[in-house]
Structure 1
């Protein structure tokens, strides 16, 4: 079994907060991780899958049910299905506090980000901590071993996909995952959206991985309005399936681009949508650079706590940085991503770093070693860059 990096942090959060919410897409390993953690906190923990009619029925009178198991950790899976629970949880947590039960009461799992946060942000303010769970990362599957890293890039981070017995089995799993999301999960979370249209959008996004998206043009290509296209994109983002990376917009007197870049968050889904089965298929496909860029960005952002906003930087004159992070107040880190064992930086990167006054400058490449490059730029492996970011946060 592959150990998850955030496991110890979640245990610590349960020792500090009454409730902890773990957010992540379906099949990313939330339930398995939650059960591992729950055993450490309370071997008699209660687990409720709120998609199960039987478990849902147990909460017909939630206050009575929670009172019955007052001394136990309760795991609530797919809690966004029952948003009215949040107001109940507030009263239960406050009542338990007065009785001496201050922390480790509820471990909440959700497969949608914004919907869950909107429901609970005010209701449980000061009582809940949030943590996002991504798929497997480069630090978890071999600490930077290139063979495992390449497999992770090809198959993506969903456990069942990464651990499949063959590349073909992995691809079949991802194809089925996409179909299930489109035909079952999406209709349950909002207004009816044609599965065919949403699949076409998802596939278009795969071909344009990491590109700046023109919403109106995207809608026209799908025979829908720009407003509808924007709503579909927001839904995929809420489901933690795509990431919108917005341009850095500090007041530097430059003409900056305004359109966001859109990435499908899991590289394995990108490759499945493009029907790329093997590593050689990726290496011979035009998507290679954009796919690697998205893969690196997701791994790096898995190290960030909620609340730190990532950006990219681009001017109309061509100055560009793939990823900009403010890891401490006023200190901007510029990260360029190259799919080359001998990465070369453009003049635009140096100009962009000067524009934003970046205090640290890095290139992330697919090798194992880290070494200095020209003009105060450090070349780093993916795992090495992740360790740098994790170290700054501690």
Structure 2
């Protein structure tokens, strides 16, 4: 059993809010985590899968059903499938508040972030807290002693993929996951999108992992218009499958790039789209450096405290920093990422640090030892960098 680091935070949110929404892609472990939390904090918790006709039938009269189970934590899985429930939940929560039931009433799970946020933000404003659940992280597998960092990098953070018996079995799981998303989940979200076109787009993003977004080039390669390309990218982002990392824009005196960088969020999905089965395949592929960068970025962003904002920094003059973490406009962490046991920093990193006024400077590399690599720059492991960010 892998203990998820989000477990404590979600349990705390349930002590402070009537409703908590946990957002994450399918198969990332939301249901298992929710049931673990519910068993620990609530007598006889109720679980309803809103994609199940049987469970949906129980909510024909939702207010009556919720009244029947007052005092029990109710888990509503795939909540975005039944948006009309949000208005009902508002009335139920307000009525219970007057009766003394103030927190820990509903735990909602959703696999499409933007839809869920739009539907719930107005109806449940002030009554709901959100927590995004990532895949398994480097610190979670280290503390649970279930595998090493390279295995996590290769297979990605989906628990079923990571825990597969062999690399080949893991790859088969991920290929089926990709097909299921394209053929089953995407068509349920709105106007029909050709599965082959979306797969090609996803694969192009894998080949260009961490590159700056060029909407015109992507559209031209797919034979579709720029607005259509933009819509497809937004869909993948809403499904929590890709991430746009925005460029830092705090220095008006520099010619900063304006296009975001795009990452496929799970390294295992990146490798599956490129048909990379094992570490030999990965280490021999041109994507290896960009894949490592995306893996590190996703792990670091999974542990950011509230109020910390991620960016990257790049100017037309060559100053460049892979990841910038800013908090309260006073703390600026400059983080360079290198897939090398003997990493060397470029002049562009130092220029970027000076431009931004970075307060802390780090280089994340695959080793375990922490040591100063240059003036004011520390070489550090991924897991230790995650602990640094948790403490800012």
TM-score strictly above 0.5: yes
* Residues 93/158 of structure 1: CA separation in 2 closer, same or farther (3 Å cut): same
TM-score computed with the length of structure 2 as normaliser: 0.98
Cα deviation for residue 86 of structure 1 reads 1.1
| Contact 2:28–2:135, Cα closer than 8 Å, also in 1 | yes
Equivalent position of 2:284 in the other structure: 284
Unaligned runs of 5+ in 1: none
Measured in 2, the distance between the counterparts of 1:305 and 1:22 equals 16
Equivalent position of 1:352 in the other structure: 352
Unaligned runs of 5+ in 2: none
Measured in 2, the distance between the counterparts of 1:4 and 1:144 equals 9
Question: What secondary structure is seen at the aligned counterpart in 2 of 1:121?
Answer: helix
Equivalent position of 1:314 in the other structure: 314
Cα deviation for residue 327 of structure 1 reads 3.1
Equivalent position of 1:22 in the other structure: 22
Measured in 1, the distance between the counterparts of 2:305 and 2:342 equals 31
1:79 and 2:79 aligned = yes
Measured in 1, the distance between the counterparts of 2:193 and 2:119 equals 23
Question: What secondary structure is seen at the aligned counterpart in 2 of 1:140?
Answer: helix
Cα deviation for residue 307 of structure 1 reads 5.3
For 1:144-194, what per-residue CA distance to the aligned partner results, in whole angstroms no more than 9, with x for missing partners? 989610000000000000000000000000000000000000001121000
Moved more, 86-95 or 23-32: 86-95
Moved more, 117-126 or 133-142: 117-126
Cα deviation for residue 377 of structure 1 reads 0.4
Question: What secondary structure is seen at the aligned counterpart in 2 of 1:136?
Answer: coil
Within a 5 Å distance, the mapping from 1:356-375 to structure 2 comes to 356-375=356-375
Cα deviation for residue 4 of structure 1 reads 0.4
Moved more, 319-328 or 194-203: 319-328
Equivalent position of 2:149 in the other structure: 149
Measured in 1, the distance between the counterparts of 2:73 and 2:147 equals 40
Measured in 2, the distance between the counterparts of 1:51 and 1:280 equals 40
Measured in 1, the distance between the counterparts of 2:232 and 2:375 equals 43
Measured in 2, the distance between the counterparts of 1:38 and 1:307 equals 28
Equivalent position of 1:224 in the other structure: 224
Equivalent position of 1:272 in the other structure: 272
Within a 5 Å distance, the mapping from 1:57-76 to structure 2 comes to 57-76=57-76
* Residues 106/8 of structure 1: CA separation in 2 closer, same or farther (3 Å cut): same
Cα deviation for residue 329 of structure 1 reads 3.4
For 1:103-157, what per-residue CA distance to the aligned partner results, in whole angstroms no more than 9, with x for missing partners? 0000000001111111112221111111110010000001498961000000000
| Contact 2:309–2:327, Cα closer than 8 Å, also in 1 | no
Within a 5 Å distance, the mapping from 1:1-394 to structure 2 comes to 1-143=1-143, 148-305=148-305, 308-392=308-392
- How many residue pairs match? The answer is 392
Moved more, 233-242 or 78-87: 78-87
RMSD: 1.3
Moved more, 302-311 or 322-331: 302-311
Measured in 2, the distance between the counterparts of 1:162 and 1:137 equals 11
* Residues 345/192 of structure 1: CA separation in 2 closer, same or farther (3 Å cut): same
Measured in 2, the distance between the counterparts of 1:144 and 1:213 equals 37
| Contact 2:365–2:381, Cα closer than 8 Å, also in 1 | yes
Cα deviation for residue 252 of structure 1 reads 3.5
| Contact 1:144–1:381, Cα closer than 8 Å, also in 2 | no
For 1:46-73, what per-residue CA distance to the aligned partner results, in whole angstroms no more than 9, with x for missing partners? 1100000111121122111111111111
| Contact 1:136–1:158, Cα closer than 8 Å, also in 2 | yes
Which stretches of structure 1, 4 residues or more, deviate above 4 A after TM superposition? 143-147
For 1:76-120, what per-residue CA distance to the aligned partner results, in whole angstroms no more than 9, with x for missing partners? 000000111111111111100000000000000000111111111
